Amino acid sequence: MHYDVPSGERGVSIEMNAKTTAENTGPAIQFQDVTYSLNGSVPRTIVSDIRFSVASGQTLVLLGRSGSGKTTLLKLINSLLIPTAGQVIVRGRATTDWDPIRLRRGIGYVIQDAGLFPHFTVAQNIALVPSLEKWDAARTAARVDELLSLVGLEPAEYRSRRPHELSGGQRQRVGVARALAVDPPILLMDEPFGALDPVTRAELQREFSALARRLGKTIVFVTHDLREALLLASRIILLESGRIIVDATPQEFPRIDHPEVTAFTACLAPLPGASA
Amino acid sequence: MTPWTFFLEHRAEILEATADHLTLVVIAMAFAVAVGVPLGMLIVHRPALRKLALGLASIFQTIPSLALFGFLIPIPFIGGIGRRTAIVALVLYALLPILRNTYVGLTGIDPAVLEAAEAMGMTESQILWRVRLPLARAVILAGIRTATIITIGVATIAAAIGAGGLGTFIFRGVAMVSDAVILAGAIPAALLAIAADLLLGLLERRLKIS
């Protein structure tokens, strides 16, 4: 009896140590045999048996055609969706054990149409999460200016504009700044450059790639554009019909012998007439 | 007797009836907004209540106004002859446009904006007060504008149950078969409706967010 109590205590403390270590050096995000299905009149499985982990500081690109389940995986990370089976571990804890509000405030989120609040100025948009976290005005204002400069917008010129007074590329820059506001360790991006014209897109991709390397955040990036994936990724996961079919580095990826990989690499073919 | 001479001779009486009419409309609208807008906010996340509230409000709207006034007379506390009954009926009429526009305004927001709000860790009530309401205000005001115009029109019928207002002249004119007397009630009522429409329309454009 006497020995049981201390050994129990030790067990707890070891477990806690393990947990702290997992949060510091273990994977930032981990999918453990995750399945997600819709319970409509006809139940439909969107993603199944998903198993992968993302190391801290890694940029993981989820690549796939429309409807392959990329966005669903992203939404499972910040608890916008709850797994039907299995669990998603974020920073050492299952998403179902997190308070969803706390979880989401620690994860930046950037979407295709930016989703800026049209009734807010650029500064108010960027300051949203800081305001929810009750930062004081001076700290918030300084952070807004810092972030505007970071994403290449002159603070004095842009901070009091409204979203409708910005171009698509500028809106997306503000979207990135807003996602970075409270310096979250994880960034989720859902085709953030998908709606931009090709020239602006290339420009933002290059800048973001440099920014991502500098910030050292864990990034999960959804796209259907292989060129973008090869530029940004430290690792690429290719999805087809809700399943992972390839998990590779950008160097390995183009050489993998799989029809879906070939279908994607075929899109990288040189311009018509360029080879002549 | 031309309408013009009748109008000049009875201008004090007409002015008083117009003031009564306006009072009736303002009181009814205050109640309708106080009930309709919060109810519209409440039904955003409650589908069962939504069906019930929108269904009931639609039913009130389909009852002919004269019949609605008649139905309310025998009901204790809210019924009887006079202004109180009229106000209850007017509130029931004004409810549907306000309720429906509040609901449509709050739910018809760009899904990307709502998704971003949720993903950034806003609570449901923060999304309602800081995102949905500010973005819906122009649509909600459009509902209030429609309701006001309906109420100004329906309030003329309220004279039939002794609530006063510009309808007094219209009913009297019908009984006397006098166009001049009918117009003494109908023209100010029409002008009131046009003025309300213009003023609220102006406000609505100012609230609209590009």
List, for residues A209-248, the tens digit of each pLDDT value: 999 988 989 999 999 999 999 999 999 999 999 999 999 9
Q: Do A115 and B113 touch (CB under 8 A)?
A: yes
User: How many C-beta neighbours within 10 Å does residue B34 have?
Assistant: 12
Hey, which residues does A188 pair with through a beta bridge?
A109, A220
What's the rounded Cα separation, in Å, for the pair B65 and B154?
7
Tokens of A30: 């981990």
For A119, the closest of B119, B126, B209 (CB atoms) is B209
Per-residue model confidence (pLDDT) at position A113: 83
Given this model, what pLDDT does residue B98 score? Answer: 97
Any CB–CB contact under 8 A between B62 and chain A? no
- Domain segments of chain B as ranges: 3-207
Nearest CA to B90 out of B39, B161, B187 is that of B161
Distance CA A158, CA A141 (A): 13
**The pLDDT of residue B81:** 84
Rounded CA-CA distance B199/B145 in Å is 9
Average pLDDT (A190-200) is 91
Residue A262's region, left for phi above 0, alpha for psi from -120 to 50, else beta, is alpha
**d(Cα B109, Cα B154) in Å, to the nearest integer?**
32
Closest chain B residue to the Cα of A179, Cα to Cα: B120
Q: What is the largest CA-CA distance in chain B?
A: 71
> Stretch B19-31: mean pLDDT, rounded?
96
pLDDT tens-digit profile of A237-250? 999 999 999 999 99
**How far is residue B173's CA from residue B183's CA, in Å, rounded to a whole number?**
8
* Cα separation, B195 vs B187, whole angstroms: 12
Best mutation target among B109, B113, B120, B133 (most A Cβ atoms within 10 Å) is B120
Band of residue A12 on the pLDDT scale cut at 50, 70, 90: very low
Residue A25 has what pLDDT?
A: 63
Mean pLDDT of chain A, nearest integer: 88
Is pLDDT at A276 greater than 70 in this prediction? no
User: Across the interface, do A119 and B135 touch by the CB < 8 Å criterion?
Assistant: yes
Task: Give start and end residues of each alpha helix (H) in B43-110.
Answer: 47-62, 65-72, 83-107
Residues with Cβ within 8 Å of A252's Cβ and at least 6 positions away in sequence, in order, are none
Q: Which residue out of A101, A124, A182, A188 would a mutagenesis test of the B interface target, given it has the greatest number of B Cβ atoms within 10 Å? A: A101
Nearest Cβ partner for B112 among A78, A111, A119: A111
Whether the pLDDT of residue A10 is over 70: the answer is no
pLDDT for B69 equals: 86
pLDDT at B51: 95
Alpha-carbon distance of A239 to A245, in angstroms, equals: 6
pLDDT of residue A3: 41
pTM, two decimals, is 0.82
Residue A274 pLDDT: 62
Please tell me which residue of chain A has the smallest CA distance to B209: A119
Per the CB < 8 A criterion, the answer to whether B209 and B135 are in contact is yes
Nearest-Cα distance to chain B for A92, in Å, is 19
pLDDT greater than 90 at residue B8: no
Tokens representing B38? 């919060």
Q: Return the residue of B nearest to A81 by Cα.
A: B119
Give bridge partners of residue A238 from the DSSP assignment.
A63, A246
* Minimal C-alpha gap between A163 and chain B (Å): 9
Question: Rounded distance, CA B69 to CA B59, Å?
Answer: 15
Question: What pLDDT score was predicted for residue B65?
Answer: 86
Which chain B residues have a beta carbon less than 8 Å from that of A129?
120-121
* pLDDT for residue A42: 82
Q: Cβ contacts of residue A156 below 8 Å, gap of 6+? A: none
Q: What is the mean pLDDT of chain B?
A: 92
Asked whether the predicted pLDDT for residue B208 surpasses 90, the reply is no
Give the count of Cβ contacts less than 8 A between chain A and B. 62
Which residue in B118, B121, B210 is closest to A132 by CB distance? B121
* Highest-pLDDT range among A147-161, B57-71, B78-92: A147-161
Name which of A188, A14, A21, A176 is nearest A91 in CA terms.
A21
Question: Across-strand partners of A220?
Answer: A60, A188
Mean pLDDT of B161-187: 92
Q: Does B131 touch chain A (CB under 8 A)?
A: yes
Of 3.40.30.10, 1.10.3720.10, 2.60.120.1440, 3.30.360.10, the CATH number of B3-207 is: 1.10.3720.10
Which of B112, B121, B134 has its CB closest to that of A104?
A: B121
* Neighbour tally for A226: CB within 10 Å: 23
pLDDT at residue A133 above 60?
A: yes
| CA separation for the pair A265, A263 (Å, rounded) | 6
User: B residues 67-126 near A, CB within 8 Å?
Assistant: 110, 112-113, 115-123, 126
* Position B97 pLDDT exceeds 60: yes
Average pLDDT over residues A71-78: 95
* pLDDT surpassing 50 at residue A252: yes
How high is the pLDDT of residue A2?
44
